[in-house]
Structure 1
Amino acid sequence: MTTPRQRYRDQVRTEIKAAALVQIRAGGVAALSLNAIAKQLGVSGPALYKYYGSKDDLLTELIIEGYDSAALHIAEAASAVREQTPRARLHALAGAYRAWAVENPHRFELLAGTPSPTYQAPPETVDHARDVFSSFLPVIGAGRDWPAGAALIAQMRATDSPGAAEWAALHAPDADPALVLAGQVLLWSRLHGVVSLEVQGAFTGMGHDPATLLTMEMDSFADALGLP
């Protein structure tokens, strides 16, 4: 059980994060101001720093919560289609990724871009970032062949990325971890590319539905890996 003091502290932190997201939604990360939040909440600037030591600390918590929100949304989609073919699951998960981003453009931009020129994401954000794609790994692991990706697979096999191989093996235990990781890099570049352009408004006025482009990209990816 938490104490009244801890519950009050948690409530204030929640209010700070809510106010921060309103600022980011209105003007991007550059609009984030701890002093403005303090004024809105009726406390002094120094008092606010009792809850977050710096703007970067606040950004880190917002980023982690953004990753967790996206990961949960995609995991729920994965659960709903777990009996379908890998290709069908891929389309469902990609659609869930896109839907979350379109519905939360300010949070997506927080995850997709550089929050500030001096911000350095701490190591603890890595696992949360990976969780966004955890539901995709079993789909990638179902690939039958990927000769065109041999060079990328070889690079991933030779790269010492802390925890990456274990992450791949956990979610796709019957597949080559290097193939899964290489496939994830390719998937991320295609999926993130289309969705980022849509969120930025790059497709406005071009006369096509971004969902159609995403479907084409996912079919191309599925063909490359031989997904049934």
Structure 2
Amino acid sequence: MTTSRRDRLRRATLDEIHAAARRLLTTKGPAAVTINAVGREVGISGPALYHYFSGHDELVNAMTVAFLDELADELRTAGGFLDTCRALRDWAVAHPAEFGWIFTRPVVAGAARYAAGMRFEQVFRDQVVALWREKPFPVPDLADLAPGLREQLVSYSEVIGGELPPAAVHVVLTCWSGLYGLVCMEVLHQLDFAYSDMGPVFEEHLRGLADRLGIPYEPSSAASMPR
């Protein structure tokens, strides 16, 4: 299907707007990403930018979607589960501003943002579902969990179509919480008081994840370690 010249020009302008917004984010911080500032970066007025975005929230969503899709693409090509975890860390360390934009600030609701989040989530979920189907990992007895927790696990298991039973969901979400938390602390330099090199710390965490999921731990190659 061919596109018109007008559509190509619009796409090129949208790409330029996104690049300008990302540049402001990485050089001046999230507060600098305003409609007027982005307009100045691309040489158009703030009001003219409303021909492309209805307002700041839509611009925020567009950037978030782009970052999530970029990250998801990186994860899809990483390899197995542990290498996917490493790819998450690599991207976050290399793109701290973008990582913070996605994960450490309030979420602006929107269908496109939700869909992008689901695409990102699907990368990890497909991998743990495959692990579960090949060899179920140890799970807790649901009866031993608090009723409120149990109800939420059952509900989420239904949301993902029963691909994982509630007890397995509990293990996976616990693993994700620990992984995400450690990456966040590294990106935000919250462990600098103790560690000057987070590589071994992260690998030790992956060793624990591998044990929890019943998969062999394979050390990272030098190529997959953050610079």
TM-score (norm 2): 0.80
Aligned twin of 1:165: 160
Give the structure 2 partner of residue 64 of structure 1.
65
Kept in 1, the 8 Å contact 2:69–2:120? The answer is yes
Amino acid in structure 2 at the alignment position of 1:164: V
Q: Retained in 1: the 8 A contact 2:60–2:108?
A: no
Deviation at 1:60, TM superposition (A): 0.4
CA contact (8 A) 1:146 1:226 kept: no
Measure, in 1, the Cα distance between the counterparts of 2:168 and 2:152.
9
**2:85 maps to 1:91:** no
Q: Deviations over 1:19-69 (max 9, x none)?
A: 101111122211112112212222222111101111110110111111111
16 and 206 in structure 1: CA distance in 2 versus 1, 3 angstrom threshold: same
Indicate if the aligned counterparts of 2:139 and 2:168 stay in contact, CA closer than 8 A: no
Map 1:1-228 onto structure 2 (within 5 A): 1-78=2-79, 89-114=80-105, 120-141=108-129, 142=131, 143-147=136-140, 151=145, 154-159=150-155, 164-166=159-161, 169=163, 176-228=164-216
Residue in 2 aligned with 1:85? none
What is the root-mean-square deviation of aligned Cα atoms in Å?
2.5
**AA partner of residue 36 (structure 1):** A
State the partner residue of 1:83: none
Contact 1:194 1:213 in 2 (8 A): no
Distance between the aligned counterparts of 1:91 and 1:101, measured in 2? 16
Contact 1:137–1:180 (Cα < 8 Å) also in 2: no
In the alignment, is the contact (CA less than 8 A) between 2:78 and 2:84 conserved in 1? yes
- Supply the distance in 2 between the matched residues of 1:181 and 1:123 (Cα, whole angstroms): 25
Q: Which amino acid aligns with 1:195?
A: V
Do the aligned residues in 1 keep the contact of 2:137 with 2:212 (CA within 8 Å)?
Answer: no
Identity %: 26
Tell me which moved more, 132-141 or 92-101: 132-141
Matched residues in 2 for 1:158 and 1:177: separation? 8
Q: Would the aligned equivalents of 1:146 and 1:225 in 2 still touch at CA under 8 Å?
A: no
The amino acid that maps onto 1:165 is I
Q: 1:126 to 1:177 in 2, by over 3 A?
A: farther
How far off is 1:191 after superposition?
Answer: 1.1
Using a 3 Å threshold, how does the CA distance of structure 1 residues 132 and 211 change in structure 2: closer, same or farther? farther
**In structure 1, distance between residues paired with 2:208 and 2:120:** 21
TM-score when normalising by structure 1: 0.79
Change in 2 beyond 3 A, CA 1:94/1:133: same
Alpha-carbon offset, residue 180 of structure 1 = 4.6
Q: Which runs of 5+ in 1 are unaligned?
A: 79-88, 170-175
Instruction: Determine the C-alpha separation between the residues in 2 that align with 1:156 and 1:35.
Output: 43
- 5+ unaligned residues in a row in structure 2: which ranges? 217-227
| Aligned residues between the structures | 207
DSSP-derived class of the 1:188 partner: helix
CA deviations on 1:67-110 (whole Å, 9 max, x unpaired) are 111111111012xxxxxxxxxx3321110110011111111011
